[in-house]
């Protein structure tokens, strides 16, 4: 009889105590290119342990996640963040922002300049319907949008590599503050005129050879960081 392991016990199991390993000298009817490598036959005990692991790590169904309906989402309190897209040219990047914005319950997304607006087949490809749950508005120019947000009492931050930018891991979002986060064009980033209107800038630390990451990926990174700090307050 196999004793079902607990999560605390799992770290203490040793490879050689879980199961017996038998070397298979020959594999008839199989033609592998790498027969010089060992092949192993694993005994029944290992199968039992795998089953226990699967029981512990069972995937949760969509129904079990308990997500709100579109109507419930519209009525619920949102994270006090407005996402501003400054001339983002890819409609699929825009759609990804909608999906991420839905996940982290942002107040709205402001689509500025040439940024695509719903309804759009390319937006829908990545938004998967989130363009219908997240509020959005369009402005002819980003400075016009930022001037309106300033009048509404938002603190405005460009997500950009600029002098004096705060690294994301050092940025501390404050309860009770409304934030506007500006994400820029895939080639040129946030325009200098928009940067000049911001209260500050946030930069994502990187360690690789590339100068930047995809704008919608940057959106996911930054919005999660803000959400993780503010979610206790809404």
CA distance 155 to 136: 19
Determine whether 59 is exposed, middle or buried from the number of CB atoms within 10 Å of its CB (0-12, 13-18, 19+): exposed
CA distance 221 to 184: 15
> Shortest CA distance to 190 belongs to which of 87, 83, 81?
87
Give the tens place of pLDDT for each residue, 113-167: 999 999 999 999 999 999 999 999 999 999 999 999 999 999 999 999 999 999 9
Hey, what are 208's tokens?
């690789």
Eight-state DSSP code of residue 2: P
CA distance 234 to 232: 6
The per-residue pLDDT string of the chain (234 residues; one tens digit each, 9 = 90 and over) reads 545 545 444 444 433 444 344 444 554 544 445 455 554 455 555 454 545 555 589 999 999 999 999 999 999 999 999 999 999 999 999 999 999 999 999 999 999 999 999 999 999 999 999 999 999 999 999 999 999 999 999 999 999 999 999 999 999 999 999 999 999 999 999 999 999 999 999 999 999 999 999 999 999 999 999 999 999 776
Identify whether the C-beta of residue 97 lies closer than 8 Å to the C-beta of residue 181. no
CA distance 216 to 93: 5
Residue ranges of the chain that CATH labels 3.40.1280.10: 69-233
For the beta carbon of residue 13, count every other beta carbon within 10 angstroms: 11
pTM over 0.75: yes
Architecture of the structural domain at 69-233? 3-Layer(aba) Sandwich (3.40)
Hey, what are 181's tokens?
């986060």
């Amino acid at each position: 009889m196999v004793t079902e392991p607990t999560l605390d016990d799992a770290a203490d199991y040793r490879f050689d105590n879980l199961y017996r390993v038998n070397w298979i000298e020959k594999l008839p009817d199989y033609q592998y290119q790498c027969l010089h490598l060992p092949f192993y036959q694993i005994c029944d005990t290992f199968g039992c342990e795998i089953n226990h692991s699967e029981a512990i790590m069972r995937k949760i169904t969509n129904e079990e996640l308990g997500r709100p309906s579109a109507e419930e989402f519209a009525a619920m309190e949102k994270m006090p963040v407005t996402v501003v897209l400054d001339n983002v040219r890819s409609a699929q990047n825009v759609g990804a922002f909608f999906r991420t914005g839905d996940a982290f319950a942002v107040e709205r997304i402001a689509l500025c300049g040439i940024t695509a607006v719903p309804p759009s087949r390319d937006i829908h490809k990545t938004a998967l319907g989130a363009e219908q749950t997240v509020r959005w508005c369009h402005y002819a120019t980003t400075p016009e949008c930022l001037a309106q947000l300033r009048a509404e009492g938002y603190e405005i931050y460009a997500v950009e590599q600029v002098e004096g930018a705060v690294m994301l891991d050092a940025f501390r979002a404050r309860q009770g503050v409304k934030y506007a986060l500006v994400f820029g064009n895939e080639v040129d980033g946030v325009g200098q005129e928009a940067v000049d209107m911001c209260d500050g800038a946030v930069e994502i630390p990187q360690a690789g050879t590339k100068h930047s990451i995809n704008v919608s990926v940057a959106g996911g990174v930054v919005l999660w960081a803000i959400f993780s700090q503010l979610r206790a307050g809404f």
